[in-house]
Structure 1
Amino acid sequence: MSTLAAILLAGGRATRVDGAAKPLFDVGGRTLLRHSVEAAAAVGATPITIVGPQPDAAMHPEVAIAAASIPAQVTWVREDPPFGGPAAGIAAALASWDADPEWTLVLACDLPGAGAAAARLIRDMVLLPTDTEGLCLADATSRPQWLTGVYRTAPLRRGAAALPARGHGASMRELLDDLAIATVVAPPAETADVDTWEDLTEARRRFTQEDSP
């Protein structure tokens, strides 16, 4: 087992975008799902476990191509019942692993800046005191972004095991309540997710500007 694995959360209801599959939104020529998978692979995470409905390869061949191009084990799981929330998704992913890595990278699959976010987390986690059990990014207001973080797997698993009903309906705060977690403020390009159609438009505009000479 590697020292780092990843859980990518791709199973929300996406009510603010009319139930559309946010992980399949194209930003900068790649789906948001691919941004997250490639971000996890770039920092050496294996396995990479995606929590959510697996897209039909015939309808979305780019998903299969992206997974096949990643030099790591990519697996899919689904919390039971579905739509149990991110804590339930993390619990389901942990339950699917045969062995535990030291660290678990957690990323939501609606983060266009997943690559830079993951790189910052892995770069900064080596600076943590030994008794710290996790690190997550915070936005400009210092609000923790729990779904953009890296956590020690053993206490994360203990937190998941303590949740009733396999974490269904539990909040991330409940899952992480007993963990000693540090935060680091990161720029909007690393913390801004896609919750609304306006967010998607802004993310595409930002990537277009970055690609401009």
Structure 2
Amino acid sequence: MNEPAAAALVLAGGRSARLNRVEKASVEKASVEIDGIPLIDHVYAAVRGCAPIIAVGPGHIGRPGVRVVREQPPFGGPAAATAAAIVALEGSGAMEAWLLACDLPRARELVERLSEVPIPDDADAVVSADAEGRVQWLAGRYRVSALQRAVAQHPHATGSSMREFLAGVRLHTVDDGGTALDLDTWAAIEEYRSTRKDNHV
């Protein structure tokens, strides 16, 4: 009997504070376009074969095949959003789940890279680490049971950091090779767009 496909949890409920700080605008990272496609759609494309796909954020980030939920209160932070997604995942039968931010323009490459690495028996997750060794909490694949334990241990996750929320989760880190690049400032977005343009010349 085949195991259920991995689920996918996509977080897109933040205020994009760093993005909007300079221009005091109100732009959602999820809607920023890279190669003419909203960032969140790059992430959705990367997890197209997953079931279910649950996104946390406002209703308009929904797409066919994507269930949208909201942390309460809204803008409670990534830990609260993860908890809301895990609650929504109940009963799905998924044993593993991708946990991804909405602002990963190289999400497809990231998922392909980590898909080749099984979660070791002595770990609860395979997550990306950047060149400096920093863990990318929202760029990995987790055992659902470990995420459920985190929710049980932190029933009030609003305002908690991912480091605090996932403190009990055993991580197996993988060099991301740049695939876990996230775009949370306009400078980063313009630099990435410029790089993409140069590479297509």
Q: Give TM-score scaled by structure 1 length.
A: 0.85
State yes or no: 1:21 paired with 2:28: yes
Contact 1:84–1:169 (8 Å) recurs in 2 = yes
Q: Report the equivalent of 1:170.
A: 160
- Mapped to 2, the partners of 1:170 and 1:121 lie a distance apart of 26
Partner deviation per Cα, 1:76-106 (whole Å, 9 max, x = no partner): 0000000111111111011112334110101
Q: Give TM-score scaled by structure 2 length.
A: 0.90
- Mapped to 1, the partners of 2:53 and 2:199 lie a distance apart of 28
State yes or no: 1:92 paired with 2:84: yes
Alignment partner of 2:5 out of 3, 6, 25: 3
The aligned amino acid for 1:151 is Y
Contact 1:156–1:175 (8 Å) recurs in 2 = no
- Mapped to 2, the partners of 1:108 and 1:197 lie a distance apart of 17
The aligned amino acid for 2:186 is W
Gaps of 5+ in 1: 56-62
Alignment of 1:40-79 (within 5 A): 40-41=47-48, 44-55=49-60, 67-68=63-64, 73-79=65-71
Alignment partner of 2:152 out of 154, 161, 168: 161
1:174 offset after TM fit, Å? 1.8
1:137 offset after TM fit, Å? 0.5
1:16 offset after TM fit, Å? 1.4
Q: How many residues align?
A: 193
1:191 offset after TM fit, Å? 1.9
1:206 offset after TM fit, Å? 2.4
Q: Report the equivalent of 1:34.
A: 41
Aligned-residue CA RMSD in angstroms?
1.6
- Mapped to 2, the partners of 1:80 and 1:210 lie a distance apart of 42
Q: Report the equivalent of 1:58.
A: none
Q: Percent identity?
A: 38
Alignment partner of 2:111 out of 113, 118, 123: 118
Gaps of 5+ in 2: 21-25
State yes or no: 1:131 paired with 2:122: yes
1:210 offset after TM fit, Å? 3.6
Greater helix percent: which structure?
A: 1
The aligned amino acid for 2:32 is F
Moved more, 11-20 or 142-151: 11-20
Q: Report the equivalent of 2:23.
A: none
